[in-house]
Amino acid sequence: MSVFDDHFEAYMGWDQDEPIGGLAVRGELVHQTKKAYLVALWPDSREVWLPKSRVDTFNEDGKTFFAVPMWLADDKGLEGNPYP
């Protein structure tokens, strides 16, 4: 089990009404406010705002990832590695 698996399992349990499934999206934190992260997505550097209440951040092998629920990934047009 990877570091991501541990974070993702803990994250996905935050709300039982939330559909299971999501993406690990690689990006760089550009800015943050009290309620959101501004993320430059890898590899194209497109910037998107992600609500802190809906995502989890973690580092693996020196890379930053954001665990994003599938509904939010679809809404923002994000691509990444799927996780159940």
Of 44, 37, 67, residue with least CA distance to 55: 67
Given a cut of 70, the residues of the chain with pLDDT beneath it are: 1-20, 84
Q: How do the domains of the chain map onto residue ranges? A: 3-83
pLDDT for 17: 52
Backbone angles phi, psi at 75, to 5 degrees: -60, -35
76 by Cβ neighbours in 10 Å (0-12 / 13-18 / 19+) ranks as middle
pLDDT digits (tens, 9 = 90+) for 41-64: 999 999 999 999 999 999 999 999
pTM of the model: 0.74
